[in-house]
């Protein structure tokens, strides 16, 4: 926690990321953005455990985009998917 930084709820963090860091989502195609949005919504509702790969990719609504391999391909491959999720987590907690 940063000194004197306001405490934010998960929902506030998710909304702030959506509104102030649109460039992050703009780097991805529409379906990959949808996956990231769904991950962000799961985080807002249930917390950081929702970023556990590959399990989270096997549950609705994210699984609606395909199997784990197909979802990874939306990002350019498994490594790029992991990097996108790591960046998403960093941005959630950036000051």
pTM of the entire structure?
Answer: 0.89
> What pLDDT is recorded for position 5?
61
- In SS3 terms, the chain reads as CCCCCCCCCHHHHHHHHHHHCHHHHHCCCHHHHHHHHHHHHHHHHHCHHHHCCCHHHHCCCHHHHCCHHHHHHHHCCHHHHHHHHHHHHHHHCCC
Q: Can you list the residues of the chain whose pLDDT is less than 50?
A: 1
pLDDT at 2: 52
| Average pLDDT value for the chain | 92
């490594």: which residue's tokens? 79
The position carrying tokens 């992991």 is 82
């Amino acid at each position: 926690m940063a000194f004197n930084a306001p405490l934010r709820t998960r929902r506030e963090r998710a909304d702030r990321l959506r509104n102030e860091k649109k460039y992050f989502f703009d780097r991805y195609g529409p379906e990959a953005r949808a996956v990231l949005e769904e991950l962000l919504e799961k985080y807002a509702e249930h917390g950081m455990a929702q970023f556990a790969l590959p399990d989270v990719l096997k549950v609705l609504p994210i699984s609606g985009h395909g199997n784990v391999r197909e979802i990874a391909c939306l990002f350019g491959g498994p490594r790029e998917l992991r990097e996108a999720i790591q960046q998403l987590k960093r941005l959630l907690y950036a000051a």
